[in-house]
Amino acid sequence: RTVLLLNGPNLNLLGTRDPGQYGTTTLAEVEARVAALGRELGVEVVCAQSNGEGEMVDRLHAARGWAGVVMNPGAYAHYSIALRDAVDAIEAPVVEVHISNVYAREGFRHTSVTAPVAAGYIAGCGVPGYELALRAVLGRAAERGT
């Protein structure tokens, strides 16, 4: 069984980008932590990061039929209808993650167009939110019998 960990734009800069909001953990460390938890829970975690909306859509399509997806859409969460439609189109449960508490930030971050079609949503828990999301994805997959 395979889960996709998909990070969106600017998350390649994790660790040095605005540490007050996002902490000092790098993307490589996030990926290693989620992959390690996956091994513990008996799933393979495939990691991808893209700054491009189209590539993220392609990655979601490729995960069709997988156990699920942990996705931090970055800023695309706030306006990408293409990403929303891709989440809606694949059968796999997608749990959306935001490291920061987007509701404590600018108003434009309070809207997520992807969250209404996601299987779950985690924000403001920091990097551990990714691990919570992996557990949530597997819970959703179990409910669906996939």
Does the annotation list 81 as a binding residue?
no
Whole-angstrom Cα distance, residue 66 to residue 44? 10
Q: Which of 13, 36 has the CB closer to ligand DQA?
A: 13
Interface with ligand DQA includes 100 (CB under 6 A)?
yes
Interface with ligand DQA includes 94 (CB under 6 A)?
no
Does the annotation list 109 as a binding residue?
yes
Our answer to whether residue 76 is catalytic in this structure is no
Alpha helices, DSSP H, located in the chain:
19-22, 27-41, 53-62, 81-89, 128-144
Residues in the chain: 146
The piece of 37-45, 48-56, 70-78, 130-138 that touches ligand DQA (CB under 6 A) is 70-78
Cα distances (Å, whole numbers) of residue 43 to 8, 67, 68: 22, 9, 10
Interface with ligand DQA includes 84 (CB under 6 A)?
no
Beta carbons of 88 and 96 less than 8 angstroms apart: no
Interface with ligand DQA includes 72 (CB under 6 A)?
yes
**Residues of the shown chain interacting with ligand DQA in the complex, contacts defined by CB under 6 A:** 10, 72, 74-75, 98-100, 102, 109
